[in-house]
Homo-oligomer: A and B are copies of this chain.
Amino acid sequence: MRATSGVKITSPLLAAAGPETRAALLSRASMLAVPRGATIIAQDQPAERLLILLQGSVGLSTAEDGGAATMVEIVAAGDALSIAAALLQVPHSVSAVALAPCRLLAIPAEDLRAAMAADAGLMRAAMEQMTRQWRLLMEQVVDLKTRDATQRAARFLLHRLPAQRGAVEIPEPRGAIAARLGMTPESLSRALHGLEAAGLLRLHGRRVDVPDRAALQRISLPRAGASQGARRV
């Protein structure tokens, strides 16, 4: 399936819908392209449409009353940005900003809700998507509690690495990645260059070569005697 702009639409969510449901959704959907740095979703705004990221990279952050904001997650192409808010008709609980030029598909929230009521597969896919995002967050919490900066950086790259070996393109600015990983840009830089010095990867600007995926994986395992939270209850 292709949309007007010629970008392939690959989304687990839409793939799960029946053909006619999908067609109905797409017929009323619109495509949008945003440059790096653009705000895609503003926190606390009503969710009028579901956004599916087709291309690019988006950072999710939350600002609390206190004024603290952090990059909570970086979502990759294929994921939906606001399922929960669109489904439940509640305001967005996060802001989303483009960390790279993005293409998104926008589906009116009411269309989505109607389609979901009619199509059980779509409903299930939506719940799977929500569950997946929950699990990612859980993984991040574990990372923050049990792994040091270098291990977190290594794991981030591993997550991005497409096949068993090779190179990754990292389009996001380092500062955004550092924030996602819970460290300063300085620390990320040191971690990355430390891994390079250890021969585990090669840095070429925003491209990273990983000669031996298994070796990197070994590094990213939490130290055996890890303390935090690993202690007996």
Contact = CB atoms under 8 A, between A and B. Distances in A.
Given A70-B141, A134-B137, A227-B184, A88 B124 contact: yes
A185 B233 CA distance: 11
* Main secondary structure on A side of the interface with B: mixed
Contacts of A147: 68
Contacts of A146: 68, 70
Contacts of A70: 141-142, 145-146, 228-230
Interface in A48-100: 59, 61-62, 64, 66-72, 84, 87-88, 93-94, 97, 99
Nearest to A217: B66
A226 B184 CA distance: 11
A231 interface: yes
A35 interface: no
A215 interface: no
Interface size class of A (residues with CB under 8 A): 35 or more
A180 B231 CA distance: 11
Nearest to A223: B68
A137 B127 contact: no
Given A176-B233, A182-B144, A221 B84 contact: no
A131 B137 CA distance: 12
Given A71-B233, A228-B184, A134 B141 contact: no
Interface centre among A68, A99, A184, A226 (most CB of B within 10 A): A68
Contact of A93 (B99, B138, B183): B138
Please give me the 7 A-B residue pairs with the lowest Cβ-Cβ distance, nearest first: A179-B229, A70-B229, A68-B222, A66-B221, A137-B137, A84-B131, A145-B182
